[in-house]
Structure 1
Amino acid sequence: MPGKSTGQITAIVLASLLIIALGALLSMYFGRRAKNSRDWLAAPESLPLGVVVITQFATAVGGGVLIAHVGIAYAAGWSVFAYEGCVLLGFLGLTLIARWLREQRFTTVPDIISRLFGASRPVTAMAGLAALIVPFGWLATQFVAFAKLFGQLTGIPATTLVLTIMVGSLIFVLPGGLTSVVWTDFVFGVFAILMSLGVAGYAIHLAGGWGEVTAEVPDELWRPQAVFAVGGEQIWLWVAAIVPGTLTNQLYFQRVFATKKVSDARRGLVLSGLTILVGGLYAGCIGLAVRAMNPGLGNAENAAGWLITRLPAALLVVYGAFLVATIISTTGAALQSVVANVIRDLCQNVFGSNRGDRETVSLSRLITVLVAGLAAALAIAFPSALDWLVASYAYSAATLAVPVFGGYLLRKRFALRPAAALSSMLAGIAGCAAAQLADTTVPYAVYGIGASALALLVLLLLPGVGRRPGAPAGTGGAGDADDGAEGTGESLSTVEN
């Protein structure tokens, strides 16, 4: 890296390895709390409120905030908070069903759909694939982000860096699955919050203080109304893309499933959404500071990399450790979520693989290694061609949003059957594909969600398929009897087809 000595680069590498080693020790220590396969897959009823809040932050704030969000702030100032606000809206949306989710003791998102609509292998398979594609996309893109950031810092080849972060992610997950991931995320999340605020403050200091920043940066980027500086059209595009993606992201659902107290389910989501704003403050301060110091960057997303070249040696080493802690928290969470889908939804519920606890955990660990290897291979082969992953958010949201939220809202008024869920999911995929091919201005996820909702309502209103509003209670389907009963997580074996 230009201007950095071999000693400084060595120090950065050693600090990074130290963070990975610390993560390994924490993971092994907390992994001992996983007593069975359910602890490995879902860590049910085990997380205090503070851990839920911090681990949601650690999961959500990864390479996107470190690079892309700083770029948003460089180009459009405090508009980065409009983006973070969309994430907050998604968290608030999840609070509508949070208590019910926690009471039912689910393991994955397809468990929810099976509980609402009844057991169906095609429905579970489709929902399982839709639920795992976003975490897998996160995993691959985080590998790429790590390679790019540390490639600039150290000059180490991208392949070596991708393999390093892959090993670090495996270390986080293998000992105890979600149990080890969330507790390690909690420790690293606290460190990330403190470092975010510290680096943001130093960036403003480096630019000459807030007065110098406001003198150099256009007023429309730093005044309070700058939240809308990016333009109404862009903000609505963010709303249409980010809110549905947050509402259907299994990584967030899993933390709700794992809350120790039912009363913490909603509270944890609200507080978690507020902590996401720390990421906005970090990105906003760095973006504006770099804009003040170097307004001529050709690519806004180079702002974070440019700041790295200006950090003093000691802070650079600590910042390197911060980058590792931030990215590896997200990769570990994403990796475990994918494996939970593969084991729970595909192996157990679709293919009927019934194993004991020990065999299930062993299989989970094997699949963890295979999934990490596949994500690393994609990150190496397509380091700048992962645009298809953006589409995964749209298709996942279009497939899952209506069956989960629509099913929850309509469960007492209609007979919810697997055919309705399957039709809704297929319509969501078709609506997304049609809008994508038509190259619509509005994100194609919106068309997919609309088509999914229309299909669900049509199926429910067909005579003999769904119970009409006002029909006596008890004449409906799978959704009627689940409200007062405590779920077991074994949805396919306890809900009639």
Structure 2
Amino acid sequence: MPRNSTGQILAIVLASALIIALGALLSMYFGKRAKNSDDWLAAPESLPLGVVVITQFATAVGGGVLIAHVGIAYSAGWSVFAYEGCVLLGFLGLALIARWLRQQRFTTVPDIVSRLFGTSRPVTAVASLAALIVPFGWLATQFVAFAKLFGELTGISATALILTITAGSLVFVLPGGLTSVVWTDFVFGIFKIVMSLVVAAYAVHLAGGWSGMTGKVPDELWRPSGITAVGGEQIGLWVAAIVPGTLTNQLYFQRVFATKKVSDARRGLVLSGVTILVGGLYAGCIGLAVRAMNPGLANPEDAAGWLITRLPAVLLVVYGAFLVATIISTTGAALQSVVANVIRDLYQNVFARRRDDRGTVSLSRAVTVLVAVLAAGLAIAFPSALDWLVASYAYSAATLAAPVFGGYLLRRRFTLRPVAALGSMLAGIAGCAAAQLAGTTVPYAVYGIGASVLALLVLLVSGPGRRPGAPEPAETALGLPAVTES
């Protein structure tokens, strides 16, 4: 791919530096809202509806949309909306329990499991590892995506770029933890939505407008029926892999926990799911436009990189800033989520260690730097060998889906005990591993979830029952009020 001129490279670097500096200033400003360690780790009951919606979008739309989703649209047209639809289904699934989640004032996903099944260090440890593996995978993968995209734009080495995005992610998180992340994401999220529409429109313009573009690509890709062009089998695989992964992704749960109003919890998820479709529109327009202009790309995921070389200088610089905003908002959210698990679940709950507010925040910041450095090292060492991180979705969903959603649905019918949660999670891991080793066609997450559900049901049915309407022991044992629905 041809390199850009020295002047353009310098302009892109300066624009990127400006975005990172703006993020740092916003983070420090909004970080002042974090008054204690709870605000740093969870930003409890602090987010208005609009901020919840936009920050969910900013978190979800990252390097995957910029590269992989554009590749889907290049090869299969509007089928990219089938992929985005799976994410939307996951958001709608979360919306079913969102009000309850918000009422219980959780901080992390393991909090949910502990609240339902009772306090247990082994349960918290397994749930914590399952919850943090996905955001850590996102973190390392976003670093790699940033290096690849900006490597094409500027010719700067991958190592230097990964170190740059690592530093940028840290300035998003360190001032105020989740409080600074979500408010900065809100500002960047608005910028991302506007730029997504602008770049998508310009790509269609380059391809000769709507009629010029549709006249050069197969009809089955751009017509409304093109949503199934990728084939039923592939869509089925997406449903099996993406929906469970979304349902158990702690990054999305955290925004629900932080809503200012209980009534906004469900509404925020539904509206957030709708905004995800903006990412599909961006990817679809760019993929189809590049397909019309250059139908011979060997790798569909090169479509976004090919388009970059065709952008005029001014839009190229702005697009560079857009890429930084897109990736850095996702990495900041993922980094903070991992740290919340390490501090709240492992350090405080599993190892039973405590510090005062100032000490907890200081420790959280130190862990943030360590996690970022570890992810950066992984991205530098294995820049093209991070496929194993895809397994994080499968194992996380197989471990957490049944205890969280099954526990919620069955909490009034059975006595939920820690052994049931632990057995269900371990069965999910074992089911995933067995299916992965067997090389099954169906995503091994499905087998893991199936094994986890079966184990949960067996352990609940074989354990002591509870009369309908009786107090919920997992909650009363913790000195908490019984769950009420309204």
**TM-score, length basis structure 1:** 0.96
Deviation track 1:252-278 (CA, whole Å, cap 9, x = no partner) reads: 000000000000000000000000000
Preserved contact between residue 459 and residue 466 of structure 1 (Cα < 8 Å): no
Preserved contact between residue 84 and residue 276 of structure 1 (Cα < 8 Å): yes
Match of 1:51 in 2: 51
Amino acid at match of 2:407: G
2: CA distance between counterparts of 1:3 and 1:147?
15
2: CA distance between counterparts of 1:472 and 1:274?
37
1: CA distance between counterparts of 2:105 and 2:57?
22
**Correspondence 1:19 to 2:9:** no
Match of 2:347 in 1: 347
Amino acid at match of 1:167: A
Q: Do the aligned partners of residues 475 and 198 (structure 1) sit closer, same or farther apart at CA in structure 2, a change above 3 Å counting? A: closer
The SS at the match of 2:215 is helix
Match of 2:469 in 1: 473
2: CA distance between counterparts of 1:472 and 1:330?
43
Preserved contact between residue 467 and residue 476 of structure 1 (Cα < 8 Å): no
Match of 2:201 in 1: 201
2: CA distance between counterparts of 1:136 and 1:24?
22
Residue 476 of structure 1, CA deviation: 5.4
Preserved contact between residue 92 and residue 273 of structure 1 (Cα < 8 Å): yes
Residue 484 of structure 1, CA deviation: 3.8
Preserved contact between residue 471 and residue 482 of structure 2 (Cα < 8 Å): no
Deviation track 1:116-139 (CA, whole Å, cap 9, x = no partner) reads: 000000000000000000000000
Match of 2:117 in 1: 117
Unaligned runs of 5+ in 2: none
1: CA distance between counterparts of 2:137 and 2:65?
16
Deviation track 1:21-59 (CA, whole Å, cap 9, x = no partner) reads: 000000000000000000000000000000000000000
Preserved contact between residue 416 and residue 479 of structure 1 (Cα < 8 Å): no
2: CA distance between counterparts of 1:383 and 1:243?
27
Match of 1:389 in 2: 389
Match of 2:284 in 1: 284
Q: Matches of residues 132-143 of structure 1 in structure 2 within 5 Å?
A: 132-143=132-143
Preserved contact between residue 3 and residue 153 of structure 2 (Cα < 8 Å): no
2: CA distance between counterparts of 1:106 and 1:259?
11
Q: Matches of residues 274-353 of structure 1 in structure 2 within 5 Å?
A: 274-353=274-353
Q: Do the aligned partners of residues 88 and 351 (structure 1) sit closer, same or farther apart at CA in structure 2, a change above 3 Å counting? A: same
Match of 1:95 in 2: 95
Preserved contact between residue 57 and residue 275 of structure 2 (Cα < 8 Å): yes
Deviation track 1:273-295 (CA, whole Å, cap 9, x = no partner) reads: 00000000000000000000000
Give percent identity, aligned residues only: 84
Extract structure 1 runs of 4+ deviating beyond 2 A.
471-477, 479-486
Residue 4 of structure 1, CA deviation: 1.8
2: CA distance between counterparts of 1:334 and 1:483?
32
Residue 483 of structure 1, CA deviation: 4.0
Amino acid at match of 2:465: R
**TM-score, length basis structure 2:** 0.98
Amino acid at match of 1:107: T
**Correspondence 1:244 to 2:244:** yes
Deviation track 1:99-148 (CA, whole Å, cap 9, x = no partner) reads: 00001100000000000000000000000000000000000000000000
1: CA distance between counterparts of 2:271 and 2:158?
36
Q: Do the aligned partners of residues 296 and 472 (structure 1) sit closer, same or farther apart at CA in structure 2, a change above 3 Å counting? A: closer
Preserved contact between residue 467 and residue 475 of structure 1 (Cα < 8 Å): no
Amino acid at match of 2:464: G
2: CA distance between counterparts of 1:262 and 1:475?
23
Deviation track 1:307-336 (CA, whole Å, cap 9, x = no partner) reads: 001000000000000000000000000000
Q: Do the aligned partners of residues 145 and 3 (structure 1) sit closer, same or farther apart at CA in structure 2, a change above 3 Å counting? A: closer
Q: Do the aligned partners of residues 475 and 189 (structure 1) sit closer, same or farther apart at CA in structure 2, a change above 3 Å counting? A: closer
The SS at the match of 2:352 is coil
Amino acid at match of 1:229: A
Deviation track 1:415-446 (CA, whole Å, cap 9, x = no partner) reads: 00000000000000000011111111110000
Match of 1:41 in 2: 41
**Correspondence 1:360 to 2:360:** yes
Residue 478 of structure 1, CA deviation: 1.1
Preserved contact between residue 411 and residue 479 of structure 1 (Cα < 8 Å): no
Preserved contact between residue 172 and residue 180 of structure 2 (Cα < 8 Å): yes
Q: Do the aligned partners of residues 111 and 70 (structure 1) sit closer, same or farther apart at CA in structure 2, a change above 3 Å counting? A: same
2: CA distance between counterparts of 1:84 and 1:392?
19
The SS at the match of 1:216 is coil
The SS at the match of 1:428 is helix
Match of 1:5 in 2: 5
For the aligned residues, what is the CA RMSD?
A: 1.2
